[in-house]
């Protein structure tokens, strides 16, 4: 869910008197169903919000998913650029199953 939709969800929660972390964590499903015009994706996101509050990651929850996905894609691309030790011996070693097996066979 994108950040503007998350903020819209927060506004619905505030209107329903769920105004702090404690009340959001203690809200049961019946309370959520009583919120007017609450959609199923918003209910799913509410559960994610509760988890984020429990883990003290509210700001991370608010960050746009596209930004998180971009960061993950960047990290994956960095890892792809590194070569496994079994393919190229002069790079920083990143071991895969094949190179781990070679090391066991050589007694390393």
> Domain check: are 69 and 98 in the same one?
yes
> Domain check: are 20 and 39 in the same one?
yes
Instruction: Examine the pLDDT at 45 and tell me if it is beyond 70.
Output: yes
For 41, the token pair is 């994706």
Tokens 């998180």 — which residue? 68
> Domain check: are 32 and 79 in the same one?
no
pTM of the model: 0.58
> Domain check: are 12 and 53 in the same one?
yes
pLDDT of residue 103: 47
Residues 6 or more apart whose Cβ sits within 8 Å of residue 64:
2, 3
Query: pLDDT tens for residues 60-93?
Result: 888 866 555 555 565 666 666 555 555 555 555 4
Query: pLDDT tens for residues 2-41?
Result: 888 899 999 999 999 999 999 999 998 899 999 999 999 9
> Domain check: are 7 and 58 in the same one?
yes
Domain carrying residue 32: 3-62
């Amino acid at each position: 869910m994108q950040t503007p939709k998350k903020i819209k969800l927060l506004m619905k929660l505030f209107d329903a008197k769920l105004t702090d972390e404690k009340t959001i964590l203690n809200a049961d499903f019946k309370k959520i169903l009583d919120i007017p015009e609450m959609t199923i994706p918003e209910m799913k996101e509410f559960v994610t919000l509760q988890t984020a509050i429990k883990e003290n990651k509210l700001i991370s929850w608010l960050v746009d998913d596209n930004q998180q996905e971009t960061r993950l894609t960047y990290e994956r691309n960095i890892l792809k650029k590194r070569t496994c030790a079994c393919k190229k011996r002069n790079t920083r070693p990143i071991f895969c199953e094949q190179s781990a097996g070679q090391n066991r066979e050589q007694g390393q």
